[in-house]
């Protein structure tokens, strides 16, 4: 019989609902797993063992008293350390927030708490979510559970690695230009970037405000739908949250893809892909076709500008958002002779190299004389990408591509070449720029290195139900899925 930490959230919810296990049992099992492999994986910046146990006891007490704590109550969760949590250190993996303990919680964290999910801790990330490998954390590198010499992807690498290694049943991350989907693919788990505005950004430490979106990492598609159900919905504290009543995503899984029109994006599925990624992606498309989907190819020429557009718009917004870290209001302060020197010294000491690079890129593109030439043109190209999506969704219900052009790469392989690192997200940024939805689902191991590959299923804005239906149908038919849940490397 498998241990409790090996179960999916859906399975655990069923066991908790019938009283076969307690929330304390589940939480203790996951914490024991965390303690046994965390030194290898290094997924967590902060572990909140006492808080998790206290929440689990409260859930059990509610059930014992005949109260209903909720359908997923008692299933432990991890949060990327970019969601502020009341009374718990919230760092964004930056030295400038190393000792920051907020007096409030983000809406996403609060909704997880309201759903009865014990908080295991805060996971590692690229500083301020700026990166594709989790090598930019100010504290330490998180390792890929499939091969400890490889990166887990980023920026939400800690959350992806925690779920992949069994240290968390599920976790939250954020996706600005691929930061959920890419690490999900590299770590062999499911990752969802919801429609922009579907999940509140309140209390989510900002990187690029027009792009940032929270979403789940899980072991299967059903769990992803369950967790998105818990955190989605309008929030009066976030002006960009959508004023809609979202459907139950967990109730949208059945129905299959028979008759569904699915387009393979030509610009994301051809040249530049690692051979093993191409092999597994083509096999995944064949599975969808055998399930009854109508497969066609679609050309979206504006996608070739995606990386260029993203790395003008996102740094521009970052340069504005990060201006608040000035040594005056909160976070690190390095004293100087006057406020200008204090501000300069604080930011020099508190920000890492990649954050400084993006601030400078963004400030330059917004500066007088260059705004129209760079930022203004990037916004116009963003509109072209949105229009290409609209045209494609007039012909297809969903679009597909590999999630990442390569499998996980080794530490240090791309740190000296920022452009090569940025290209890690080439398949992901178009959907982010359009504010639409996408999910990464494991589709096997690349034959040349036995590392996970993901298929990205993209949907138009607010069409998560169709996206989940296709992802679930694929997952149920994918033969290799059960062998991928936990890498042997950390199952010793």
> Which residues, 6+ apart, have CB-to-CB distance to 239 below 8 Å?
none
Write down the pLDDT at residue 2: 81
Residues in the chain: 492
In this prediction, residues 225-238 reach a mean pLDDT of 98
Write down the pLDDT at residue 262: 98
Whether the pTM exceeds 0.85: the reply is: yes
In this prediction, residues 364-392 reach a mean pLDDT of 94
> How does pLDDT run across 292-343, given as a tens digit for each residue?
999 999 999 999 999 999 999 999 999 999 999 998 888 999 999 999 999 9
Neighbours of 488 (CB within 10 A): 9
User: Is residue 320 flagged as an active site residue?
Assistant: no
Contact 108, 101 (CB under 8 A): no
Would you state the structure tokens that stand for residue 10, as one six-digit string? Answer: 């859906």
| Whether residue 491 has pLDDT greater than 60 | no
| Whether residue 173 has pLDDT greater than 90 | yes
Could you write out the three-class secondary structure of the chain? CCCHHHCCHHHHHHHHHHCCCCHHHHHHHHHHHHHHHHHHHCCEEEECHHHHHHHHHHHHHHHHCCCCCCCCCCCCEEEECCECECCECCCCCCHHHCCCCCCCCCHHHHHHHHCCCCEEEEECCCHHHCCCCCCCCCCCCCCECCECCECCCCCCHHHHHHHHCCCCCEEEEEECCCCCHHHHHHHCCEEEECCCCCECCCCECCCCCCCCEEEEEECCHHHHHHHHHHHECCCCCCCCCCCCCCCCCHHHCCCCCCCCEEEEEHHHCCCCCCHHHHHHHHHHHHHHHHCCCEEEEECCHHHHHHHHHHHHHHHHHHHHHHHHCCCCCCCCCCCCCCHHHHHHHHHHHHCCHHHHHHHHHHHHHHCCCCCHHHHHHHHHHHHHHHHHHHHHHHHCCEEEEECCCCCCCECCCCCCCHHHHHHHHCCCHHHHHHCCEEEEEEEEECCCCCCEEEEEEEECCCCHHHHHHHHHHHHHHCHHHHHHCCCHHHCC
Q: Say which of 105, 179, 241, 432 is annotated catalytic.
A: 179
User: Is residue 86 flagged as an active site residue?
Assistant: no
Reference 463, options 403, 392, 405, 402; nearest CA is: 392
| Whether residue 488 has pLDDT greater than 70 | no
Reference 38, options 99, 94, 120, 127; nearest CA is: 120
In this prediction, residues 117-135 reach a mean pLDDT of 98
User: Is residue 432 flagged as an active site residue?
Assistant: no
pLDDT > 90 in the chain, percent:
92
Write down the pLDDT at residue 270: 84
> How does pLDDT run across 454-481, given as a tens digit for each residue?
999 999 999 999 999 999 999 999 865 4
* pLDDT band for position 419 (cuts 50, 70, 90): confident
| Whether residue 484 has pLDDT greater than 80 | no
Would you state the structure tokens that stand for residue 197, as one six-digit string? Answer: 């505005």
In this prediction, residues 151-179 reach a mean pLDDT of 98
Mean of the per-residue pLDDT values for the chain?
95
Write down the pLDDT at residue 490: 47
* pLDDT band for position 39 (cuts 50, 70, 90): very high
pLDDT > 70 in the chain, percent:
97
| Whether residue 492 has pLDDT greater than 50 | no
Convert 246-265 to b/e letters by CB count within 10 Å (16 or more is b). beebbebbeebbeebbbbbb
Write down the pLDDT at residue 482: 45
Q: How far apart are CA 141 and CA 159, in angstroms?
A: 13
Contact 382, 309 (CB under 8 A): yes
In this prediction, residues 431-449 reach a mean pLDDT of 97
| Whether residue 169 has pLDDT greater than 60 | yes
> How does pLDDT run across 93-114, given as a tens digit for each residue?
999 999 999 999 999 999 999 9
Write down the pLDDT at residue 486: 57
Q: Say which of 80, 150, 193, 278 is annotated catalytic.
A: 80
Contact 432, 364 (CB under 8 A): no
Q: Say which of 132, 155, 165, 365 is annotated catalytic.
A: 155
- Residue, of 420 and 473, whose pLDDT is higher: 473
In this prediction, residues 212-240 reach a mean pLDDT of 98
- Domains of the chain plus CATH, in order, are 13-300+387-490 (3.90.1300.10), 304-379 (no CATH)
Contact 4, 25 (CB under 8 A): yes
Reference 407, options 251, 275, 262; nearest CA is: 275
**Phi-psi category of 301—alpha, beta or left, where left has phi over 0 and alpha has psi -120 to 50?**
alpha
| Whether residue 442 has pLDDT greater than 60 | yes
Q: Is the peptide bond before 155 cis (omega within 30 degrees of 0)?
A: yes
| Whether residue 483 has pLDDT greater than 70 | no
Would you state the structure tokens that stand for residue 443, as one six-digit string? Answer: 């589709």
């Amino acid at each position: 019989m498998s241990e409790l930490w090996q179960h999916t959230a859906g399975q655990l919810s069923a066991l908790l609902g019938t009283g076969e296990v307690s929330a304390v049992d589940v939480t203790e099992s996951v914490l024991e797993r965390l303690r046994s492999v965390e030194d290898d994986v290094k997924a967590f910046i902060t572990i909140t063992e006492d808080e998790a146990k206290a929440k689990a006891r409260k859930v059990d007490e509610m059930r014992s008293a005949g109260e209903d704590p909720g359908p997923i109550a008692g299933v432990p969760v991890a949060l990327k350390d970019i969601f502020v949590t009341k009374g718990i250190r919230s760092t964004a993996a930056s030295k400038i927030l190393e000792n920051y303990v907020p007096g409030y919680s983000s809406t996403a964290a609060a909704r997880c708490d309201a759903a009865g999910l014990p908080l295991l801790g805060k996971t590692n990330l690229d500083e301020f979510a700026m990166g594709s490998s989790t090598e930019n954390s100010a504290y330490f590198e998180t390792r890929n559970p499939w091969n400890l010499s490889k990166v887990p992807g980023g920026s939400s690498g800690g959350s992806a690695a925690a779920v992949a290694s069994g240290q968390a049943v599920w976790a939250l991350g954020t996706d600005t230009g691929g930061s959920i989907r890419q690490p999900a693919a590299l770590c062999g788990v499911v990752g969802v970037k919801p429609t922009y505005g579907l999940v509140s950004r309140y209390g989510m430490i900002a990187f690029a405000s027009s792009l940032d979106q929270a979403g789940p990492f899980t072991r299967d598609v059903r769990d992803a739908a369950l967790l998105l159900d818990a955190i989605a919905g309008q929030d009066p504290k976030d002006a960009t949250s959508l004023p809609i009543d979202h459907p139950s995503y967990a109730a949208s899984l059945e129905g299959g893809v028979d008759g569904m029109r699915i387009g393979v994006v030509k610009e994301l599925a051809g040249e530049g892909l690692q051979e093993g990624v191409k092999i597994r992606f083509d096999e995944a498309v064949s599975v969808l076709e055998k399930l009854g989907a109508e497969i066609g190819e679609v050309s979206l020429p504006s996608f070739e500008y995606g990386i260029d557009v993203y790395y003008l718009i996102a740094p521009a917004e970052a340069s504005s958002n990060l201006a608040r870290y000035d040594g005056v209001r909160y976070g690190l302060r390095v004293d100087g002779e006057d406020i200008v020197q204090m501000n300069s010294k604080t930011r020099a000491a508190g920000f890492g190299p990649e954050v400084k690079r993006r601030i400078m890129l963004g400030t330059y593109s917004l500066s007088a004389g260059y705004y129209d030439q760079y930022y203004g043109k990037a916004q116009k190209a963003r509109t072209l990408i949105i229009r290409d999506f609209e045209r494609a969704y007039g012909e297809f219900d969903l679009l597909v591509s590999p999630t990442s052009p390569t499998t996980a790469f080794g530490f240090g392989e791309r740190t000296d070449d920022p452009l090569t690192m940025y290209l890690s997200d080439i398949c992901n940024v178009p959907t982010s720029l359009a504010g639409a939805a996408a999910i990464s689902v494991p589709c096997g191991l690349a034959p040349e290195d036995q590392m996970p590959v993901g298929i990205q299923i993209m949907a138009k804005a607010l069409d998560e139900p169709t996206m989940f239906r296709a992802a679930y149908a694929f997952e149920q038919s994918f033969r290799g899925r059960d062998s991928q849940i936990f890498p042997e490397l950390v199952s010793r």
